[in-house]
Structure 1
Amino acid sequence: MKIDMSTEFDKVILIFEDPGRRLIVRTALEAANALIKEWPSDDGEEFLTAVKACLDVMTGKASSDELRSAILRAASEAGVGAVASIH
């Protein structure tokens, strides 16, 4: 099975509660790292959907747009600010 962690999507800027703490996410690997290492809560339904979307994109089972949408929903669920940029 081929794994592609570099699949890109239009960037999402995540804004956490800590002052000045921001994270730019634009690849499946960056999304996975944000969810696993930076996320304030790891038990929400949208969080789990976003983690699965990361794996699905890396293995070619989902599109990067699906992952981007999942990250935005997970951010909303966790109270993380998200600024979606579109090229």
Structure 2
Amino acid sequence: METARRYDVHEAEAHFSVILEQVAAGAEVVICESGEPVAKIIALRARGMRTGRGSLRGQIRVHAAFDALPGDTAEAYGTR
């Protein structure tokens, strides 16, 4: 695992936009004061990924030209 990049408080203030780019790319950044770590900057994750039944509700649309499954295929999938 890669070690977090460390910045002194004053260096972090001067290069904040660069730090944000690094964090957005997945890096962790530690801010130090007098050589001692005082804060860690990490990327916020989007709301937790739901993976259960119904987790994509409202996000998928079936095209009107989509044909129903043939009878034997539908039966094999238990949708008949």
Band the TM-score falls in, shorter-chain normalisation: under 0.3
Q: Structure 2 length as normaliser, TM-score?
A: 0.23
Determine which structure has more spread, i.e. the larger CA radius of gyration. 2
Pick 1 or 2: higher relative contact order, CA cutoff 8 A, min separation 6: 1
- Which protein has the bigger helix share? 1
Q: Structure 1 length as normaliser, TM-score?
A: 0.21
